[in-house]
């Protein structure tokens, strides 16, 4: 069955069987039964337990096969060794979706992994979808139903939450009840044997009860499906992710610059960014953000007005705004005049608006409303500190009223204080005004509202450019290298691959004798560069394996012998294929362009300041291939060297289009050839606008 159709059934089942239902308190099968009943589920519940005839007032069955009516969803809470048989029976019965709570699968090792594979086979065979195994279950507050062993049911709200950790969910559920945060869907992903995060993201995207998607994940099952699902949903709903754990790619030792500079988590970061997903650093931030998204209109820009009754918090908030990419709005002259007329002379009428410690609720009201009316303001932050004359609760009510009157701009409150703020905060929360105890948290959450609009709008339907390429030639080179039992390509081979994709390179030829070296130098034209050709020597200059600017046959001969000598001295075990003779390129700005491969997301392209100081400067940026031209341009401009390439301090601008082309060609090459596991061009020289680029050092490693 189509996975999405399966999830629709999972969200709204007409009948549920609980396989392993129990009368005994403390058993999971009992928790699930009680949750189902207590959540107000209106469909039929069928407990399955061969030893009982009645469980919690519902007639029990020996097996799902014995039930006469059709069953939409089966929740499985029996020991792992019985699960396969139960799943097979569900298949026979025509059940559409399974929630397998039982643990003891992939997470216990090889044996469990085999068992889990069989589960998936059965799901495919009988066209069922499976959530889990090893999960907490599922809760839909709108149908309503709770098929989980959670303690309690979350309140109804608009947040769809999926989590790879069941334990974390129980903590959040408990906390959300206290904080009055409501959920539409609460899905425990478990081992993600069949249904995974991408499936649920898509389903949440279609779900009319959900306006906001939260995820806690440790990994994704399929990077491309994940990105595709996110890109589909983001235009309508924000997706926020907390991602923990280290990806497998990071564990692999990398020899290239690109490989070693990409951190274990880089691909995830880049994937989130490229698909419009916002990443929250921790769960607290995630829920701060959720509280702001709940019921709020999105801001149309980043200009904030601050209303306060104290100077200090106003300044703190201003600083926090600037650090988060929010601007302090320039109030219109009309607003300023209005405030001057209505506030005491000592009040600050520019932004932050300081209505002074004596500010009464009506003062707050007029300031907030003026700010909400101002066309130069996109959102309003209201700060309140408890001072002698402050009326906290009445002020809270004034804020709620202002929001009701002008609901289309975000309005967020910061009530700083302890006991005196408890009741006012309740007034705000009930009035749908997000309230925080400190300005920084409020600003951070507000900034996310704005940043969502930016990432949503940055998702473009731009095509991936295609360049002419000689794939046959690349195939031949790779197969020859394999025949030679190598994974690291020689310089001349790597350059030939780049050339096949029309990447501008300095011409290079392999010489095996000094005689040949001189002939090739003649052919290429002086001056030339000589480079050691050995798969075992990756960084050639480190061992004296490079001689540049050679102008005569004598110099070439001497360099040839010297390089071989140096190699023998420094790397006696290295297999030497000879010496590469290369055209001397005119120097330009040194760039690095490279690619490493992430297990989940595929080719990860790096761009940055090149040369021998790459590792120290770390002026680099990443994107996943394939890429659009806008992606390539962003990749360049995210670095500091990108700014220099535009031409600063009287320098001519560099040929940015040619650099984009090179990035796009590399992106095409590594997308076409999965066997290229690492590619490094360092340096490529960038020349003035119109003069192109030239790669002088291309390194390629292929997979085993």
Residue 686 makes contact with ligand ADP by CB under 6 A: no
Which region among 12-20, 533-541, 560-568, 661-669 touches ligand ADP (by CB under 6 A)? 533-541
Minimum CB separation from ligand ADP for residue 699, in Å? 7
Out of 102, 664, 697, 702, the only residue in the binding site for ligand ADP (CB under 6 A) is 697
What are the beta bridge partners of residue 242?
Answer: 216
| Closest to Mg ion by CB, 262 or 343 | 262
Tokens (6 digits) for 702: 């292929």
| DSSP one-letter code for 541 | G
Residue whose tokens read 């507050």: 141
Residue whose tokens read 């300095």: 506
Q: Peptide bond before 179: cis, by omega within 30 degrees of 0? A: no
469 interacts with, out of Mg ion, ligand ADP, none, CB within 5 to 8 A per kind? none
Minimum CB separation from ligand ADP for residue 659, in Å? 17
| Closest to ligand ADP by CB, 427 or 508 | 508
| Closest to ligand ADP by CB, 540 or 597 | 540
Q: Peptide bond before 352: cis, by omega within 30 degrees of 0? A: yes
103 interacts with, out of Mg ion, ligand ADP, none, CB within 5 to 8 A per kind? none
**Where on the phi/psi map is residue 152: left (φ > 0), alpha (ψ -120 to 50), or beta?**
left
Out of 138, 506, 559, 627, the only residue in the binding site for ligand ADP (CB under 6 A) is 506
Out of 503, 521, 585, 670, the only residue in the binding site for ligand ADP (CB under 6 A) is 585
Measured in whole angstroms, the distance separating CA 438 from the mean position of its chain's CA atoms is: 27
- List phi, psi (to 5°) of 550: -85, 130
Tokens (6 digits) for 32: 């699930």
Q: How far apart are CA 445 and CA 476, in angstroms?
A: 54
| Closest to Mg ion by CB, 137 or 683 | 683
Out of 73, 271, 696, 702, the only residue in the binding site for ligand ADP (CB under 6 A) is 696
Out of 336, 584, 599, 637, the only residue in the binding site for ligand ADP (CB under 6 A) is 584
Residue whose tokens read 């997301």: 601
Minimum CB separation from ligand ADP for residue 532, in Å? 8
584 interacts with, out of ligand ADP, Mg ion, none, CB within 5 to 8 A per kind? ligand ADP
Minimum CB separation from ligand ADP for residue 503, in Å? 15
Which region among 4-12, 75-83, 394-402, 534-542 touches ligand ADP (by CB under 6 A)? 534-542
Which region among 3-11, 245-253, 306-314, 539-547 touches ligand ADP (by CB under 6 A)? 539-547
685-695 burial code (b ≥16 CB/10 A, e <16): bbbeeeebbbb
Tokens (6 digits) for 596: 């490493």
Q: How far apart are CA 64 and CA 686, in angstroms?
A: 70
Tokens (6 digits) for 659: 């650099």
| Closest to ligand ADP by CB, 236 or 541 | 541
Contact positions vs Mg ion (CB under 5 A): 682, 697
Residue 570 makes contact with ligand ADP by CB under 6 A: no
What are the beta bridge partners of residue 698?
Answer: 681
Question: What DSSP line would sit under 206-239, residue for residue?
Answer: H-TT-SEEEEEES--S-HHHHHHHHHHHTTTS-E
Residue 582 makes contact with ligand ADP by CB under 6 A: yes
| Closest to ligand ADP by CB, 34 or 691 | 691
Kindly report the CA angle at 586 between 582 and 590, in degrees rounded to 5? 95
| Closest to ligand ADP by CB, 611 or 690 | 611
| Closest to ligand ADP by CB, 313 or 594 | 594
Residue 531 makes contact with ligand ADP by CB under 6 A: yes
| Closest to Mg ion by CB, 190 or 545 | 545
Out of 540, 589, 597, 623, the only residue in the binding site for ligand ADP (CB under 6 A) is 540
Q: How many CA atoms lie within 13 A of 652 on its CB side?
A: 10
541 interacts with, out of ligand ADP, Mg ion, none, CB within 5 to 8 A per kind? ligand ADP
Residue 303 makes contact with ligand ADP by CB under 6 A: no
Measured in whole angstroms, the distance separating CA 377 from the mean position of its chain's CA atoms is: 30
Number of residues that bind ligand ADP (CB under 6 A): 18
| Closest to Mg ion by CB, 354 or 697 | 697
167 interacts with, out of ligand ADP, Mg ion, none, CB within 5 to 8 A per kind? none
| Closest to ligand ADP by CB, 341 or 586 | 586
Minimum CB separation from ligand ADP for residue 537, in Å? 8
What are the beta bridge partners of residue 380?
Answer: 305, 411
Residue 525 makes contact with ligand ADP by CB under 6 A: no
Cβ-contact 214, 161 below 8 angstroms: yes
SS3 16: strand
Minimum CB separation from ligand ADP for residue 575, in Å? 16
542 vs 256, 549, 570, 612, CA distance in Å?
A: 14, 18, 9, 10
List the x/- string, 596-635, binding to ligand ADP by CB under 6 A: ---------------xx-----------------------
585 interacts with, out of Mg ion, ligand ADP, none, CB within 5 to 8 A per kind? ligand ADP
Q: How many CB atoms lie within 10 A of CB 527?
A: 15
Out of 157, 314, 683, 692, the only residue in the binding site for ligand ADP (CB under 6 A) is 683
Question: What DSSP line would sit under 18-64, residue for residue?
Answer: EET--SSTTSHHHHHHHHHHHTT--SEEEEE-TT-SEETTEE-BS-G
Residue 546 makes contact with ligand ADP by CB under 6 A: yes
Cβ-contact 592, 680 below 8 angstroms: yes
Question: What DSSP line would sit under 111-132, residue for residue?
Answer: HHHHHHHHHHHHHHHHT-EEE-
Q: How far apart are CA 200 and CA 206, in angstroms?
A: 10
How far the first Cα of the chain sits from its last, in Å, is 37
| Closest to Mg ion by CB, 79 or 611 | 611
Cα–Cα nearest to 283, from 214, 227, 218, 233: 214
Tokens (6 digits) for 225: 């499906």
| Closest to ligand ADP by CB, 417 or 527 | 527
Cβ-contact 60, 21 below 8 angstroms: yes
| DSSP one-letter code for 586 | P
| Closest to Mg ion by CB, 192 or 699 | 699
Residue 387 makes contact with ligand ADP by CB under 6 A: no
Minimum CB separation from ligand ADP for residue 501, in Å? 19
309 interacts with, out of ligand ADP, Mg ion, none, CB within 5 to 8 A per kind? none
Residue 547 makes contact with ligand ADP by CB under 6 A: no
List contacts with ligand ADP (CB under 6 A). 506, 529, 531, 539-541, 546, 548, 582-585, 611-612, 682-683, 696-697
């Amino acid at each position: 069955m189509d996975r999405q159709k399966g999830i629709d059934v999972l969200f709204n089942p007409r009948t549920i069987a609980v396989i392993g239902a129990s009368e005994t308190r403390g058993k999971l099968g009992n928790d699930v039964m009680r949750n189902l009943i207590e959540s107000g589920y209106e469909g039929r519940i069928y407990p399955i337990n061969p030893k009982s005839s009645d469980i919690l007032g519902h007639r029990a069955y020996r097996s799902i096969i014995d039930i006469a009516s059709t069953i939409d969803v089966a929740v499985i809470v029996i020991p792992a060794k019985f699960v396969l048989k139960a799943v097979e029976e569900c298949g026979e019965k025509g059940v559409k979706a399974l929630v397998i709570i039982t643990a003891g699968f992939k997470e216990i090792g090889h044996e469990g992994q085999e068992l889990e594979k069989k589960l998936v086979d059965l799901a495919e065979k009988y066209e069922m979808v499976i959530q889990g195994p090893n999960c907490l279950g599922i809760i839909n507050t709108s149908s309503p139903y709770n098929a989980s062993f959670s303690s309690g049911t979350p309140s109804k709200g608009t947040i769809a939450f999926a989590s790879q950790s069941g334990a974390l969910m129980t903590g959040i559920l408990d906390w959300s009840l206290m904080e009055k945060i409501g959920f539409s869907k609460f899905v425990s992903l478990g081992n993600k044997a069949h249904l995974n995060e991408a499936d649920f993201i898509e389903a949440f995207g279609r779900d009319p009860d959900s306006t906001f998607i939260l995820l806690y994940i440790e990994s994704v099952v399929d990077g491309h499906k994940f990105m595709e699902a996110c890109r589909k949903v983001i235009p309508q709903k924000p997706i926020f992710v907390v991602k923990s754990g280290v990806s497998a790619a990071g564990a692999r030792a990398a020899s290239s610059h690109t490989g070693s500079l990409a951190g274990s988590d880089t691909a995830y970061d880049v994937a989130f960014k490229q698909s419009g997903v916002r990443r929250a650093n921790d769960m607290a931030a995630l829920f701060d953000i959720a509280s702001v998204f709940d019921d709020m209109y999105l801001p149309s820009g980043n200009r904030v007005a601050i209303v306060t009754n104290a100077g200090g918090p106003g300044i703190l908030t201003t600083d926090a705004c600037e650090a988060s990419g929010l601007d302090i709005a320039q109030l219109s002259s009309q607003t300023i005049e209005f405030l001057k007329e209505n506030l005491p002379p000592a009040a600050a009428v520019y932004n932050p608006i300081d209505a002074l410690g004596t500010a009464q609720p009506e003062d707050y009201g007029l300031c907030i409303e003026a700010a909400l009316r101002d066309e130069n303001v996109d959102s309003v932050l209201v700060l309140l500190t408890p001072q002698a004359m402050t009326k906290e609760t009445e002020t809270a009510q004034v804020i709620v009223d202002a929001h009701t009157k002008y609901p289309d701009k975000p309005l967020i409150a910061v009530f700083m204080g302890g006991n005196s703020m408890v009741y006012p905060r309740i007034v705000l929360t009930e009035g749908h005004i997000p309230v925080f105890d400190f300005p920084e948290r409020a600003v951070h959450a507000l900034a996310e509202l704005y940043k969502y609009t930016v990432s949503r709008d940055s998702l473009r339907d731009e095509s991936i450019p295609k360049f002419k390429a000689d794939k046959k030639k690349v195939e031949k080179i790779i197969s020859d290298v394999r025949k030679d039992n190598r994974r690291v390509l020689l310089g001349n081979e790597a350059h030939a691959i780049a050339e096949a994709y029309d990447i501008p390179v300095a011409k290079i030829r392999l010489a095996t004798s000094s005689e040949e070296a001189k002939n090739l130098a003649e052919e290429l034209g002086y001056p030339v560069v000589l480079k050691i050709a050995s798969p075992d020597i990756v960084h050639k200059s480190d061992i004296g394996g490079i001689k540049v600017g050679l102008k005569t046959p004598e110099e070439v001969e001497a360099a040839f012998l010297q390089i071989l000598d140096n190699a023998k001295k420094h790397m006696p075990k290295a297999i030497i294929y000879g010496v590469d003779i290369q055209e001397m390129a005119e120097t330009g700005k040194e760039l690095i362009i490279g690619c490493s491969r992430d297990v989940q997301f595929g080719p990860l392209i790096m761009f940055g300041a090149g040369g021998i100081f790459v590792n120290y400067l770390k002026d680099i940026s990443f994107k996943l291939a394939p890429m659009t031209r806008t992606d390539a341009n962003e990749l360049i401009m995210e670095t500091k060297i990108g700014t220099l390439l535009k031409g600063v301090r009287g320098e001519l601008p560099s040929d940015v289009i040619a650099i984009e082309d090179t990035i796009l060609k590399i992106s095409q090459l590594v997308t076409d050839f999965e066997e290229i596991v690492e590619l490094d061009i360092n340096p490529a020289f960038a020349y003035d606008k119109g003069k192109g680029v030239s790669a002088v050092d291309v390194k390629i490693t292929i997979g085993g």
